[in-house]
């Protein structure tokens, strides 16, 4: 038993020593790898000394520019939302109810009401002027709304503003101003000037005012001028195109509000021309 115990202890000791040597070898190898790696980095650092700073500055510059661009984009998005809310508030005032009587029972006390159109227009202009002053990108559209309200407060000044804005570089503002100017000329009985403006809008491409809307007003002006044939021709062409129009899925396109109004007016103005129109498309999506 004693003779067997010595070799077992010896073998255990040998195994322990061998295990320690292997562990130490791994540690030495790791230290050597670390030292070699550090030396490589030190040599690279020495070679890039002077140049390395330029590279780091360039990378830092790109990062800073990226952060600035992100911050500017976030700020611009926030300002845009803020401007839209301010513009919406001003439009809400412009569309507020005009009534000299007190609010009816049950209506919110915060609901906007003005005793006269002049007071409403004056208040709306104040709000639009704030938008124009604070948000440069909304300056032109705010000026358009100011001009339309000026027609109530100071009509001649409003007409002058609309005339100037009809030549704006902002196509949307230019077309909207031209249409408002045409409506004002029509209301003032300046029918030739109104017809010229409506005709111009109807023939503009990518107009923010639908051609059907401009043509409908043009037909109304011609009718007031006694040009019934010209008015009937416009209404007929409008309706003929509307009834033949197709939706993207190939089905008949639904008639616009302008086309429905044109249908009633042509039927009254010239029943014979109305009878020559193609049949009105049947409504789609109806249950059977």
Angle at Cα 148 formed by Cα 142 and Cα 151, nearest 5°? 140
Q: Which two tokens stand for residue 281?
A: 């498309």
The confidence band for 103, taking pLDDT boundaries of 50, 70 and 90, is low
pLDDT at 247 over 80: yes
pLDDT at 30 over 90: no
Mean pLDDT of the chain: 79
8 Å CB contact between 181 and 163? yes
8 Å CB contact between 140 and 168? yes
**DSSP class per residue in 115-176:** SSHHHHHHHHHHHHHHHHHH-GGGHHHHHHHHHHHHHHH-HHHHHHHHHHHTT-SSHHHHHH
| Residue 121: count of CB within 10 angstroms of its CB | 23
Tally helices (H) and strands (E) across the chain: 11, 2
Q: Which two tokens stand for residue 196?
A: 């010229």
Question: What pLDDT does 99 receive?
Answer: 86
pLDDT at 178 over 90: yes
Span 5-26, pLDDT tens digits: 434 443 444 445 455 445 545 5
Distance (Å, rounded) from C-alpha 278 to C-alpha 236?
10
What b-and-e string marks burial along 203-239, b requiring 16 or more CB atoms within 10 Å of the CB? eeeebebebbbbbbbbbbbbbeeebeebbbbbbbebb
Span 106-144, pLDDT tens digits: 555 456 889 999 999 999 999 999 999 999 989 999 999
The burial of 2, by beta-carbon neighbours within 10 Å (0-12 exposed, 13-18 middle, 19 or more buried), is given as exposed
The confidence band for 219, taking pLDDT boundaries of 50, 70 and 90, is very high
Angular region, 207: left φ>0, alpha ψ -120 to 50, beta rest? beta
SS3 78: helix
The confidence band for 77, taking pLDDT boundaries of 50, 70 and 90, is confident
Poorest-confidence range of 45-54, 121-130, 215-224?
Answer: 45-54
Strands 113-114 and 97-98: parallel
Residue that wins the pLDDT comparison between 13 and 73: 73
Greatest CA span in the chain, whole angstroms?
137
Distance (Å, rounded) from C-alpha 278 to C-alpha 262?
14
The confidence band for 169, taking pLDDT boundaries of 50, 70 and 90, is very high
Of residues 123, 130, 126, 138, the one with CA closest to residue 84: 138
pLDDT at 53 over 70: no
pLDDT at 174 over 50: yes
pLDDT at 43 over 70: no
């Amino acid at each position: 038993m004693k003779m067997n115990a010595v070799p077992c202890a010896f073998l255990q000791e040998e195994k322990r020593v061998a295990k320690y040597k292997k562990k130490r070898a791994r540690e030495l190898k790791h230290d050597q790898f670390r030292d070699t790696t550090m030396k490589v980095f030190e040599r690279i650092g020495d070679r890039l000394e002077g140049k390395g700073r330029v590279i780091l500055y360039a990378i830092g510059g790109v990062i800073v520019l990226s952060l600035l661009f992100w911050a500017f984009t976030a700020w611009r998005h926030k300002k845009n939302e803020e401007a839209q809310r301010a513009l919406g508030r001003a439009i809400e005032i412009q569309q507020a109810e005009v009534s000299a009587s007190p609010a009816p029972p049950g209506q919110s006390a915060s609901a906007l009401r003005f005793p006269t159109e002049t007071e409403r227009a004056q208040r709306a202009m104040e709000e639009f002027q704030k938008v124009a002053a604070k948000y440069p990108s909304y300056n032109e559209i705010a000026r358009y709304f100011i001009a339309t309200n000026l027609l109530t407060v100071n009509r001649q000044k409003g007409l002058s503003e609309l005339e100037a804005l009809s030549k704006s570089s902002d196509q949307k503002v230019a077309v909207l101003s031209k249409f408002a100017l045409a409506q004002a000329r029509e209301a003032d009985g300046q029918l030739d000037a109104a017809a010229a403006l409506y005709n111009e809008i109807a023939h503009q491409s990518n107009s923010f005012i639908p051609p059907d809307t401009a043509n409908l007003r043009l037909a109304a002006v011609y009718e007031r001028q006694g040009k019934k044939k010209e008015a009937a021709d416009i209404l007929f062409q409008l309706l003929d195109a509307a009834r033949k129009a197709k939706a993207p899925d190939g089905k008949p396109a639904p008639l616009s509000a302008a086309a429905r109004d044109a249908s009633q007016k042509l039927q009254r103005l010239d029943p014979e021309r109305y009878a020559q129109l193609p049949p009105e498309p049947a409504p789609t999506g109806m249950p059977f």
